[in-house]
A and B are shown apart, each in its own frame.
Chain A
Amino acid sequence: MATATIPVTGPDRIDVPRAPLRVRVLRRPEVGALVAAVVVFVFFSVVTDAFLTPAGVATWLESAALFGIMAVAVSLLMIGGEFDLSTGVMVGSTGLITGVLATAFGVDIWVGMVISLMVALAVGFGNGMMVMRTGLPSFIVTLGAFFILQGLNLAVTKAVTNQVAVQGFSAVPGFWDARWLFGSSMSIGSATIQVSVLWWLLFTATATWVLLRTRVGNWIFAVGGDARSARQTGVPVLATKIGLFMTTALAGWLVGMLSLFRTTTVQASTGVGVEFIYIICAVVGGCLLTGGFGSAVGGALGALIYGMTYQGIVFAGWDNNWLKAFLGAMLLAAVVVNMYVRKRAETAGAAETKQTTPQVGPPDPEEAGPAVGRGGEEG
């Protein structure tokens, strides 16, 4: 199959040894989050009665889905070495734009959705452009975007509708036509699974595919790991980073639509303060704050942990404020554990190679052939 691209004389199949399974598993960024997710799952399954019921599962899955879509996008962005604080309010902005256009101006619901999508992508593009052109930290740039959007959400909504929320969205013509896409649900057994869960799975699968199996994915790791090296090898750094900011904005729009059609209303203050939860989910999922390392599945697992804990605490009848404390502890634990695991994985892998590497030997120009043969013999 691939032998045509291997410019090697000699054996057709080149033997490419793999590290032991233990090392390969340790190298995955989401290992820690997977273990934590299992622990949380088992814990609440044992402690509460409602957690494992079909209705219970549907509840925490929906909770995880809305956070998960954003957490996956934020993970990609974080792997790409950037940060976005305007993610939370973006959910509000897009919902408000579509909602206000439809209720107050009678704009077609589909047109309203396209317009809010365009606005979201434009904000994402603006964020990326600003970060890349000025060289300012994305923290500052998106903090600015966060406040601008937060202010606009409140001020414009108030000025147009004299209220601080979208009302009567379900009465808009076309609402029931568009609802299947973002607000529907399906029954699996006795559980009612929201469509948002499917979007979450689709988004996570697509992101994983892009990250691990496409050129763009390679570029995302590279621009986050070492932007200068990436540029030197010809990776389009600017386009990759701007694309990441726009992807995050796109995810914000998707979640905005999902919440709008699910609840048929949007508060003007929607999404404020949630941006940190996305970031926590990404970090818990194994993403490095400094970029270049992480996974989309990790972000999704981080959100799953959050969703399970959020609803688990409700099911257990505990004070909801415990959630925040848990989140903070989880974040710190994740950072420490991930750091330790990564170090172990790296040194384990390195030791493996050094032990088994035969002497490089005299690499005479003429001896390229024997070198290949030597590798073949041992493999």
Chain B
Amino acid sequence: MTAVRDDTAGRTAFIEARDCGKSYGQVVALQGVTTEVVAGEVTCVLGDNGAGKSTFIKILSGVHQHDRGELLVDGVPTRFTGPREALAAGIATVHQDLAMVPLMPIWRNFFLGSELTKGRGPLRRLDVSAMRATTRAELLRMGIDLRDVDQPVGTLSGGERQSVAIARAVYLGARVLILDEPTAALGVKQAGVVLRYVAKARDRGLGVVFITHNPHHAYPVGDRFMLLKRGESLGEYAKADIALDELTRLMAGGSELEELSHELGRR
């Protein structure tokens, strides 16, 4: 349960959560979350279904407000009033459903809510050629070569869609990238591709929050790991302080998993 606070000089913490929590009426969805999101580092949030991961994302992305503890953005206590405000602060979220509209073309999805325009007043209009070109360029930068940016997003595969969503968030000037279970629905190979994008975003100086229930996905890219269980934080670990085995064991509920494997092994 040792919280990591190695304040080396030169690290900029974009976001710091101090004992953050949230209740829905009587139900405590999240409590005691303390972690930070640092430029060029990946903060992994691990937890099983119902552990409070979604609630944590919603607080970070401004969908809900925390009702205990503190959330510091650039060192200033902050309470977002909505997703737009979080976006303005450079916090972009790639949701599990990817926040894409299947029937709309890729380039329209890429710029949804942040459309480029040209002209003034009543002649203010979408800069279609710039948006199409930028979409293509940004996807290529991530190593994704989709020939036809006019095709509906619904025609893409899961991995392609995920990549488009990440490229979009990176392009839209995110300093902090929150990835909600980006590898959950993917096969091994596709998950590997997505993990490379995560590393790429990190290397471009973004602070990444990587939400997952899979320690095998989290460990290779993560710099710090925060574990959630039934709405409570089990503590935060730096990569140096924890091995994959231990992480997996903690994740799976430790003794519960041992009992299970014991029980299953007898047959």
Interface residues of A (CB under 8 A from B): 1-2, 5-8, 13-19, 24, 27, 209, 212-215, 217-219, 221-222, 225-226, 228-235, 288, 292-293, 346-347, 349-350, 352-353, 356-358, 360-365, 367-368, 371-372, 374-375
Contact = CB atoms under 8 A, between A and B. Distances in A.
Nearest to B107: A16
Interface string B102-139: 11100010011111110000001111111011111110
A1 B204 CA distance: 27
Interface in B59-107: 83-84, 87, 93, 95, 97-104
A374 B141 CA distance: 11
Contacts of B246: none
Given A213-B128, A229-B98, 15 more contacts: A1-B130, A2-B130, A7-B138, A8-B137, A17-B148, A212-B126, A214-B126, A229-B112, A230-B112, A347-B155, A349-B155, A357-B146, A363-B143, A363-B197, A372-B140
A357 B126 contact: no
B133 A234 contact: no
A225 B136 contact: no
Given A221-B103, A372-B140, A363 B200 contact: yes
Contact of A367 (B133, B143, B156): B143
A13 B203 CA distance: 26
B227 interface: no
A174 B163 CA distance: 63
Given A215-B117, A349-B148, A350-B151, A14 B137 contact: yes
Contacts of B84: 234
B115 A218 contact: yes
Given A213-B128, A221-B104, A363-B196, A232 B155 contact: no
A230 B134 contact: no
Main secondary structure of the interface of A (DSSP, over half): helix
B127 A232 contact: no
Contacts of B174: none
A371 B147 CA distance: 13
Interface residue tally on B, bucketed by range: 35 or more
22 contacts: A7-B137, A7-B138, A14-B136, A14-B140, A209-B125, A218-B115, A222-B104, A225-B102, A230-B112, A231-B83, A232-B83, A349-B148, A350-B155, A358-B145, A360-B193, A363-B143, A363-B144, A364-B196, A367-B143, A368-B141, A371-B142, A374-B145
Interface string B238-253: 0000000000000000
Nearest to B116: A5
A214 B203 CA distance: 35
Given A234-B87, A375-B136, A349 B98 contact: no
B93 A232 contact: yes
B117 A222 contact: no
Contacts of B149: 16
Looking at A213, A357, A360, A371, the one whose CB has the most chain B CB atoms below 10 A away is A360
B100 A229 contact: yes
Contacts of B32: none
A215 B115 contact: yes
